[in-house]
A and B are shown apart, each in its own frame.
Chain A
């Protein structure tokens, strides 16, 4: 690919360049887009990409192999889409590549076995957009990932990139840009949902120079990876969003703060910044105007609390990432005491779209209070794991069943957890809840950055609350007492309940403690840490009561409250469990009934895992007492 290292000095230059690139790309009739997001890399997509390049070189074909960012459908990785037709091949191995090129590219034949099969209808689906996972989505922001190589600024320019910043520099006053963003109704995608335009306005009006911008990519919520995939897959859209914001606010310098676990995002964003500088889209006198702005990457060092805005700024300044009390807000006194505006990756990526399509178009999407689309990571006990972009207001049921394809292995849906460690669990009774900021908050949870973890009947809600508290307690920076000590006590009570030591006063104690920690903590981490406890108590109180009163874990998950048991009628005496038991707890002989000694059993569950599906003799039972009773009865059989 030829590269035009030439500076773009005005709108005309940009348009000419776009036409030139388009003409060049049209010369290649077929593009093979190979997903190279972190998810697909875990499946080994780099080998697939290399195999494609080798194959077309061997066959001397003139087509483009495009390593792209994440396409979203991680369940089916590695993914390849053949454009312009949009043929969707999934779970590709390097061995399949030769056949794809010889059959599909050269002879225009579809390879059935690589197609996606609808699990409901068993119909094979050829085109990407007809796959049920994609059909109900509205991929305004995330969809471009599939069409561009994140390492190519030209790809981004070809799809209309940088026309938003060109438009504001030529036609709009900073105040008009702020009005446009306000009118669009865009709210912060990082969690709290503050109106972006209003945030910009406060910083725009604040006194003091220089002013700073920050892009928060310290995506710490476990199970959420949409910000990473956007920054990895379409870094220029984030840069362009920041450029527009910088012009509106009057900022000269920006930082993209990236979590240290995201090396590919750091690489792609750094590369994009240097490309944008070469083209004169970052630096002095951008597009020939008097506006100058530059960007820098800061790598996080592994502290969840650093995602909190004041802590994040401390970290950029080279200190420990501990929060400080607000006010003063960052818009007044932020980085090095100067006015600073912080938005998260997805918020920034929405900005060019709003400027290009207009606030009116954008605000027609979504609900009254929540406009536009939102990207969620749909993960956990769900058939179609992946990143989905949907209009605000879609119901949880549509997300879980129509896009997510329901729960694996025919299990029952139990709850969906949104908002990360600050959020809560929503039960199946609320599956028709529209997904927007207000509805989720009313249900006791929150939008958060967009993690949606689906849970089935096997998930214990006490264990889940314990999981999140263990997380927040570990991540508490220790600066304020309510968070440092309060979370520790909540965790200790949950631990006790999980182990079967729960007492009758524990639930009210949990509630009192939770309210105190919420009210008295310094920053968002502590203020929201008790939410997983409070929502599980609200919707799944009976599970807590079962643990406390009956010493029973209804989901059969808490190890101290369960026993493994071999159903005598089903055991065929194959000796698999006996051979694999690491504790020597199983006794029996070939073709005779096996028995687990509950006192020796360490509850690792290997016996259940190795017992053949056809036999299915090993079960978990709770409470323990019952199991020992049955086990002692069993030998007479």
Chain B
């Protein structure tokens, strides 16, 4: 919890900076555990319910750990009209998980976003930080197979 103290100190232990504090913590730990949030609540003297209402209101906060590969599917309008829903369906089928879930072996986490603003490449799938543009169902199959192979 050393990091927690230094992050809180960076923002002057201010309740007003709750959002950037939580953002920094997520960057540090990858996700926000219940224990961590309770600790933040105690140290900043705000109620846990206030913190939980905040982390569930804003979409960027993760309350579960992320798998080895975070698969992000862009569902922006441009990607949508170019077939993103089919791409998403195919990923769900191949990985066996739904939006927001992580596979049991912790290999994949699937999430969707509203637009990553790289519309020329739509439909787009991002695996960790790597962009895969102009996706199709066949390309999804290859991509998932490759990721599985790498981890055998």
Answer whether residue B80 sits at the interface, using C-beta atoms and an 8 A cutoff. yes
- Complex Cα spacing A225 to B124, Å: 15
Q: Is the CB of A318 within 8 A of B15?
A: yes
- Complex Cα spacing A228 to B76, Å: 15
Give chain B's interface residues, CB within 8 Å of chain A. Answer: 14-20, 22-23, 53-54, 57-61, 75-78, 80-82, 86, 89-90, 93, 113-122, 124, 131, 133, 136-138
Known pairs A223-B115, A301-B60, A380-B82; A604 contacts B137 (CB<8 A)? yes
Chain B residue at minimum C-beta to C-beta distance from A305:
B57
Q: Is the CB of A222 within 8 A of B78?
A: yes
Contacts of B117 in A (CB 8 A): 38-39, 224-225, 228-229, 261-262, 377
Answer whether residue A295 sits at the interface, using C-beta atoms and an 8 A cutoff. no
Question: Contact partner of B137 among A42, A471, A606, CB < 8 A?
Answer: A606
- Complex Cα spacing A399 to B118, Å: 19
Contacts of B22 in A (CB 8 A): 301
How far is the CB of A60 from the nearest CB of chain B, in Å?
Answer: 34
Question: Contact partner of B61 among A38, A39, A75, A301, CB < 8 A?
Answer: A301
Q: Is the CB of A453 within 8 A of B77?
A: yes
Q: Is the CB of A320 within 8 A of B54?
A: yes
Contacts of B75 in A (CB 8 A): 222
Contacts of B124 in A (CB 8 A): 42
Answer whether residue A609 sits at the interface, using C-beta atoms and an 8 A cutoff. yes
- Complex Cα spacing A302 to B55, Å: 10
Contacts of A163 in B (CB 8 A): none
Chain A residues 440-469 with CB under 8 Å of chain B are 451, 453, 455, 459, 464, 467-468
Contacts of B120 in A (CB 8 A): 39, 74-75, 77, 379, 385-386
How far is the CB of A116 from the nearest CB of chain B, in Å?
Answer: 14
Range of interface residues on A (Cβ < 8 Å): 35 or more
Q: Could you write out 27 A-B pairs with CB less than 8 Å apart?
A: A42-B131, A43-B131, A74-B119, A220-B114, A221-B115, A223-B78, A260-B23, A260-B60, A261-B117, A301-B19, A301-B58, A302-B58, A318-B19, A321-B58, A322-B57, A379-B77, A379-B78, A379-B122, A385-B78, A386-B120, A417-B77, A453-B78, A455-B81, A468-B77, A471-B114, A604-B86, A606-B138
Q: Is the CB of B81 within 8 A of A459?
A: yes
Contacts of A477 in B (CB 8 A): 57
Q: Is the CB of B113 within 8 A of A464?
A: no
Contacts of B122 in A (CB 8 A): 379
Answer whether residue A142 sits at the interface, using C-beta atoms and an 8 A cutoff. no
Q: Is the CB of B137 within 8 A of A320?
A: no
Answer whether residue A304 sits at the interface, using C-beta atoms and an 8 A cutoff. yes
Q: Is the CB of A467 within 8 A of B137?
A: no
- Complex Cα spacing A298 to B117, Å: 20
Chain A residue at minimum C-beta to C-beta distance from B78:
A379
Give chain A's interface residues, CB within 8 Å of chain B. Answer: 38-39, 41-43, 74-75, 77, 220-225, 228-229, 260-262, 298-304, 315, 317-322, 377, 379-381, 385-386, 417, 420, 451, 453, 455, 459, 464, 467-468, 471, 477, 580, 582, 604-606, 609-610
Interface centre among B17, B58, B133 (most CB of A within 10 A): B58
Q: Is the CB of B133 within 8 A of A299?
A: no
Chain B residue at minimum C-beta to C-beta distance from A470:
B75
Chain B residue at minimum C-beta to C-beta distance from A74:
B120
Contacts of B76 in A (CB 8 A): 222-223
Interface centre among A43, A261, A303, A318 (most CB of B within 10 A): A318
Q: Is the CB of A380 within 8 A of B77?
A: yes
Chain A residue at minimum C-beta to C-beta distance from B53:
A320
Q: Is the CB of B60 within 8 A of A42?
A: no
Q: Is the CB of A42 within 8 A of B18?
A: no
Contacts of A606 in B (CB 8 A): 90, 137-138
- Complex Cα spacing A604 to B58, Å: 33
Q: Is the CB of B81 within 8 A of A43?
A: no
Q: Is the CB of A74 within 8 A of B81?
A: no
Chain A residue at minimum C-beta to C-beta distance from B21:
A318
